[in-house]
Structure 1
């Protein structure tokens, strides 16, 4: 029996993928604590209410699977942009690095049917607004590399504790700002480049503002 079900975003997908899409959407809309595995199975069109438990084990593993499901594509795109920045000698320009960091996440957020950025924002809120609370997920290779380059540039401008705090604040802004871009894209049907530029400006401004 063919267990595939239709999905607007990806065409025909298997049950596990359909559960991921349903969970991403429900968590994004209702929060991490506002959704049960049974509700996710029902939203995915599964007659077996234990389908999510069968495929993922528990909610924590499902959340981890959603979080990592988009990362390979985002990481690849960011690596491409970083290579382009290096080729044009923009890898020491802070604004350009902020664009490299933000654009792949924003492009994912603008894809039809995406709730990923809003899911990440909900997860971040659930974790107490700190990346350190999510060590099992970590940064992808390209993101870690870009953050490292930003750290080197900031070390030339700001005291260490100030630079570290600014990077943490920039992470918060990136997550919440991209969630806003995703919601806007859902209404308008695509990525708003002007809003992405404003977000990148805000990230760069936050990182480079003089310390008192």
Structure 2
């Protein structure tokens, strides 16, 4: 497509991520994205991406390589007998460190959180999670470490874990932007690791069927 086309795509992705993050996925039209990107071609999204779904897939995968490299580096240093805390660090820190690396203002955490809240986007996120074997391996090792917790309880807690990590990061990103919080993403990362470790390993006081089948855990 050439450098001009690549630049146009990036500008459209920037515009879409900001608008989706601040307004929600379904509230933003392709035309509005094009206008925010500064182009008079209201068909720019269709021209450069083929359609709405392709744009969203491009946004989800936009920074996947950076996060994957960070996760691979952490996993390569894991001990064979690593516990829940260290395994969770490999899940959570790559995402948080990626957010810390973005120029301000950033919209990434809020965009991903918006994707999570839209039912029509669940399949997109689920496919992204299934396509990440390293995350699957880490989740499997965490389940093995928590062998005394029932599978049903772990399904439900994994759902909470994903919602908590993405939700906290989205709110923190907004606070950093408006100046109400200093940018201390490392602190946020370890706070989330500690919180998730405590939640996953907590005793089960009432057996039930809150979630009786696997709930996809999505972490970028």
Report how far residue 189 of structure 1 moved. 6.5
Match of 1:102 among 74, 77, 92: 92
1:122 is aligned to: 114
Stretches of structure 2 lacking an aligned partner (at least 5 in a row): 206-220
Are 1:206 and 2:196 matched, yes or no?
no
Decide whether aligned partners of structure 1 residues 39 and 72 sit closer, same or farther in structure 2, where only a CA change above 3 A counts: same
Q: Tell me the equivalent position of 2:127.
A: 136
How far is 1:144 from its partner? 2.2
Deviation per CA, 1:122-173: give whole Å up to 9, x if none.
0000127x9567333334233222222212222x120111112111211111
> Do the aligned residues in 2 keep the contact of 1:181 with 1:196 (CA within 8 Å)?
no
**Closer/same/farther in 2, CA of residues 26 and 99 from structure 1, 3 Å limit:** same
Q: Secondary structure at the match of 1:69?
A: coil
1:167 aligns with 2:152: no
Q: Does 1:57 align with 2:50?
A: yes
Q: C-alpha root-mean-square deviation of aligned residues, in Å?
A: 2.4
Against the structure 1 CA distance between its residues 60 and 196, is the aligned structure 2 distance closer, same or farther, given a 3 Å change threshold? same
Question: How far has the Cα of 1:18 moved from its partner?
Answer: 1.2
Q: Confirm or deny: 8 A CA contact 2:17 2:111 kept in the other structure.
A: yes
- Residue aligned with 2:127, SS: coil
1:183 maps to which of 166, 174, 182: 174
Name the CA shift for 1:195/1:105 in 2 (closer, same or farther; >3 Å).
same
Q: Distance in 2 between matches of 1:82 and 1:203?
A: 18
Q: Name the counterpart of 2:149.
A: 158
Could you list the runs of 5+ residues in structure 1 that have no partner in the other structure? 6-12
> How many residues in Structure 1 have an aligned counterpart in Structure 2?
199
CA contact (8 A) 1:19 1:44 kept: yes
TM-score normalised by the chain length of structure 1: 0.83
Shift, 1:196, TM fit: 2.2
Find the aligned partners of 2:202 and 2:126 in 1 and give their Cα distance. Answer: 29
Taking the TM superposition and a 5 Å limit, the aligned residue runs for 1:20-31 are 20-31=13-24
Distance 1:171 1:3 in 2: 37
The TM-score normalised by the length of structure 2 is 0.81
- Show structure 1 runs of 4+ deviating over 6 A: none
Quick check: 1:74–1:104 contact (8 Å CA) kept in 2?
Answer: yes
